[in-house]
């Protein structure tokens, strides 16, 4: 049975690869090749006439590093404004950072190669397959973010939000208010 699957799998791979031009070459009359050549010539001319600046310091990198250090503090207190329908729906004082529900601690993909009893893939073929999340499930978890309030409450939100590391003055009260009893 495994040999039959392998024999059926090899022609499929051959058919898939038959129509591919892996060299990137085309015919000399091909307009896309001419456009690529013109683009390359233009970039060569621009590079010679206007070489990129050689920076000693990058403010962009500095800003990214500063942001990383600011939000990587587990004790950091910040202010979350959840927005929907053009209104601030809720406001929270949060501790730590905002995280995507799609973040994973483990690698989201795994490389599988070689013929074995579980995947029937020829040893010369390597495939990238999705890995399960830490909870054992597959797929995404939506387009939401989550965070923890200073009281330790978990909040998940699918929508727009604004995050600030200092409280902002609102001109109208939030639509949703959590009462603590």
pLDDT tens readout for residues 62-112: 999 999 999 999 999 999 999 998 899 999 999 999 999 989 888 888 888
DSSP state of 51: P
Residue-level pLDDT at 166? 94
Mean of per-residue pLDDT scores for the chain: 82
Residue 59 buriedness (CB in 10 A; 0-12 / 13-18 / 19+): exposed
How far CA 19 is from CA of 13, 14, 22, 32, 50, in Å, comes to 11, 9, 10, 18, 41
Residue-level pLDDT at 165? 94
- Provide the token pair at 123: 């040893």
- Provide the token pair at 97: 């950072």
Is pTM beyond 0.85? Reply is no
Phi, psi of 148 (to 5 degrees): -120, 135
Mean pLDDT to the nearest integer, 109-123 = 68
């Amino acid at each position: 049975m495994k040999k039959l699957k392998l024999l059926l799998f090899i022609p499929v791979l051959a058919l898939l690869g038959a129509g591919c031009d892996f060299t990137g070459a085309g015919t000399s009359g091909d307009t896309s090749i001419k456009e690529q050549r013109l683009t390359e010539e233009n970039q060569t001319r621009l590079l010679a006439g206007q070489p990129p600046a050689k920076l000693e310091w990058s403010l962009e990198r500095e800003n990214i590093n500063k942001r990383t250090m600011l939000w990587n503090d587990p004790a950091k207190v910040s202010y979350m404004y959840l927005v929907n329908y053009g209104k601030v729906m809720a406001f929270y004082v949060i501790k730590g950072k905002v995280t995507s529900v799609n973040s994973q601690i483990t690698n989201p993909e795994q490389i599988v190669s070689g013929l074995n009893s579980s995947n029937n893939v020829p040893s010369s073929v390597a495939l990238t397959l999705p890995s399960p999340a830490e909870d054992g499930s597959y797929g995404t978890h939506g387009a939401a973010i989550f965070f923890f309030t200073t009281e330790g409450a978990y909040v998940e939100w699918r929508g727009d939000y604004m995050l600030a590391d200092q409280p902002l003055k609102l001109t109208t009260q939030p639509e949703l208010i959590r009462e603590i009893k």
